[in-house]
Amino acid sequence: MATFEVALSGDFRLPDGGAAYPSFDLGPLQANPDVRVRYVDPVDGVMPAAALEDVDALILLVPRFDATSVPKSGRLAVVARFGVGFDSVDVPVCTANDIALVTTPDGVRRPVAVAILTFILALAGRLMVKDQLVRQGPEGWAKRSANMGMGLVGRTLGQLGIGNIGAEVFRIARPLDMRFIAFDPYADATVAATLGVELVDLETLFRESDFLSVSCPLNEQTRHIVNAERLALMKPTSFIINTARGPVVDQRALHETLKAKRIAGAGLDVFEVEPTPEGEPITTLDNVILAPHSLCWTDECFAGIGAADVAAVLAMMQGRVPRGIVNREITERAGWQAKLAALGKSFTG
């Protein structure tokens, strides 16, 4: 009897064989008698084609998927990324080989937006500094007045990107009574108006934001879109937050800006090089809050992402077009349509 073969990248598994992320529920796959689940370890950070030859679907966490990952059998039909970023996947290669790439926007929308709000509140309240004051005893307590926080009412919250996550940030920040502005060349003006967001040009975004959150994908247009020139436009009292992708920000320029106190601070969950090397200059500053690309990692987040990936994989198995396809043109390709039809015929009758 035919089985639907699902591979998970090896980083979903602990060295002892246990689940690295228990909130990622594989139950719907494991309970299906027509599905077989296995783990495939990357080689030098890349998924190896040889281990994917008889695989129908791949659920991918950190490893890369490129031209060397494509199995010669032509069987692989979908790569489901665990999250919304897909810069680790060669999209044109997937399309050329009739492989759909799907992501999980619904699973990360609220968790990432909450992570951004966490940075905003921590930076505004100078939480990290005040934590250290307490640890210094009476001498630290005596410095309270010199470390006043910033109130949020009437302040300007800017979003570089008002898509899935950017829009959610504005939704959950509404009770804070802030002014909302955003730059996004692909913005839906109706959505922006509904959220009370003023769409502005890029320079205005940098000049007027008290808190500027980066929520755009990484591509050739956005790489280093946050650079020295634009950082120079920001207020000395302003903060920048990046939870998107590290290379969207010129990290060297940001380091120099923060070191010179030309802006008040930053909250960073992503970096140009990950993991950050020991002694990375930006980690030595006292006006930046850092997280290891995991601030949104909660049981809620991983459960939601996992459920979305499992749903996409099962849709593919049943001959249905999954949600969250990045390379939408794939749905018009005869080769991928044939894979979808064959799967549907095999597993739904």
- Among 290, 316, 338, the domain boundary falls at 290
- pLDDT confidence of 208, banded at 50, 70, 90? very high
Pair (96, 119) in one structural domain: no
User: Same domain for 311 and 201?
Assistant: no
Q: What integer is the mean pLDDT of 171-199? A: 97
Active site residues: 245, 274, 293
> Does 24 lie in the same domain as 71?
yes
Question: Do residues 195 and 97 both lie within one domain?
Answer: no
Same structural domain for residues 124 and 238? yes
Last residue of a domain, one of 252, 272, 290: 290
- Residues 247, 177, single domain; the answer is yes
DSSP 8-state code for residue 279: T
One-letter amino acid of 81: R
Give the CATH number, domain containing residue 171: 3.40.50.720
- Based on the domain organization, do 205 and 324 belong to the same domain? no
Predicted structure pTM score: 0.89
Q: Both 194 and 277 in a single domain?
A: yes
In whole numbers, what is the pLDDT of the chain averaged over residues? 96
Given pLDDT bands bounded at 50, 70 and 90, which one contains residue 349? low
How many domains in the chain?
2
Residue environment code for 146-163, b if the CB has 16+ CB neighbours within 10 A, otherwise e: eeeebebeebbbbbbbbb
Mean pLDDT, residues 189-199 taken together: 97
Q: Read off the pLDDT of each residue in 55-81 and give the average, rounded to a whole number.
A: 97
Cα–Cα distance measured from residue 251 to residue 259, given in angstroms and rounded to the nearest whole number: 12
Is residue 211 within 8 A of residue 158, CB to CB? The reply is yes
Instruction: Collect all residues with Cβ–Cβ distance below 8 Å to 155 and sequence separation of at least 6.
Output: 178, 179, 210, 211
Same domain, 74 and 119: no
pLDDT at 1 over 60: no
For residue 98, the model assigns a pLDDT of 98
- Nearest one of 282, 250, 306 to 81, comparing CA atoms: 306
Position 348 scores a pLDDT of 83
Residue range(s) defining the domain that contains residue 314: 4-103+298-348
- The verdict on 114 and 84 lying in the same domain is no
Q: Are residues 193 and 302 in the same domain?
A: no
Sign of CA dihedral 132, 137, 141, 146: negative
